[in-house]
Amino acid sequence: MLRILQFLYRIRAFILFVFLEVVAGWLIVTNNSPQGAAFFNSSNAVIASVLKKQADLVQFFSLAEANEELTEENAKILSTLFAYTQPADSAYLELDSLLEVSYQFRGARVIANSLRYSQNYITLNKGANDGVKPGMGVFNSEGVVGRVKSVSKNYSVAFSLLNTGLLVSSKIKSTNDIASVQWDGRDASEANLLYVPRHIKTQPGDTVVTSGFNSVFPEGIIIGIISEVNPDTEDPNYLKIRLKLKTDFSKIKYVYLVENTQYLEVDSLQQQSEVTNEF
């Protein structure tokens, strides 16, 4: 017995090492599972406030650029709005509940962002107090940015589209074929378009937009443009399609959060009828 204890005492450093590595491994695993406890992350108040200070400082230097972007976008919105205003002399049709708006939008600022890992996250300066909920979609004027993962009182953390764990339901705009966009962990400006069957005719230059099927994003937000189409060498059923992402992830500053107010209803209906939404 004494021998065993002596032996254990002699290798105490190694035992501590193994223990610490197991703790680290546990942290990695729990943090990466979507439902895992997200305690040690940047939506924690202290950490978020430090990151915010840093973002504030950096932001000061890019105010001019941000202003320009906002003006540009305002102009775009004004022009769309103009298209909706009815000229006085035309017939006016009242829209029924079929086309009722079920999406609500909020604005937020990015206070932390990463591109270089294979699991990238974005921290935003809006949280539960501003009505942000896990599962909301995130996009900006260029295109899709990601999806909210966890929320604290005043901050929230979102999966970036540059996260190998995030699939975005999408479709090819010209042909309406549904597919999924997933990042492969390499280039921050490119992603893969998955589950496109071989018989689909598509070519480089086609636009890929959100499909609206997973009730996170409204239909038609731009994701990217197809840059390469090849037959998949591993799976004979599908095409291998590369996508040039529209969003420049290295300089996102302001984003919009979108909430589908009828998400719960759709989701519970699907569960009730035992349909799994694969997109």
Closer to other proteins by Cβ: residue 42 or 260? 42
DSSP string computed for 175-218: T--EEEEE--SS-TTEEEEE--BTT----TT-EEEE-STTSSSP
Closer to other proteins by Cβ: residue 26 or 105? 26
Helix axes 12-32, 2-10, angle to 10 degrees: 60
Q: Which of 56, 65, 184, 235 binds other proteins (CB under 8 A)?
A: 184
CB 133 within 8 A of CB 178: no
Tell me the window of 107-115, 168-176, 234-242, 253-261 that interacts with other proteins (CB under 8 A): 107-115
The reply to whether 27 sits near other proteins by the rule CB under 8 A is yes
DSSP letter assigned to residue 56: H
Q: Which of 49, 71, 118, 277 binds other proteins (CB under 8 A)?
A: 118
Helix axes 45-60, 63-84, angle to 10 degrees: 90
The reply to whether 105 sits near other proteins by the rule CB under 8 A is no
Rg of the chain taking only CA atoms, in angstroms: 23
The reply to whether 44 sits near other proteins by the rule CB under 8 A is yes
The reply to whether 157 sits near other proteins by the rule CB under 8 A is yes
**For residue 253, what are the CA distances in angstroms to 14, 29, 198?**
46, 29, 38
Q: Which of 51, 128, 200, 229 binds other proteins (CB under 8 A)?
A: 51
The reply to whether 156 sits near other proteins by the rule CB under 8 A is no
Tell me the window of 24-32, 68-76, 87-95, 136-144 that interacts with other proteins (CB under 8 A): 24-32
Q: Which of 59, 141, 164, 207 binds other proteins (CB under 8 A)?
A: 164
The reply to whether 17 sits near other proteins by the rule CB under 8 A is yes
Residue 153 CB neighbour total at 10 angstroms: 12
Minimal distance, residue 206 CB to other proteins, in Å: 26
Which residue reads 């840093």 in tokens?
54
As a whole number of angstroms, the distance between CA 122 and CA 234 comes to: 33
Minimal distance, residue 33 CB to other proteins, in Å: 12
The reply to whether 138 sits near other proteins by the rule CB under 8 A is no
DSSP letter assigned to residue 125: S
Number of chain residues interacting with other proteins (CB under 8 A): 40
Quote helix, strand, coil % in the chain, to nearest 5.
30, 30, 40
Closer to other proteins by Cβ: residue 73 or 190? 190
Binding residues (CB under 8 A) for other proteins: these are: 12-14, 16-17, 20-21, 23-29, 31, 40-42, 44, 47, 50-51, 54, 112-121, 123, 157, 164, 184-186, 188
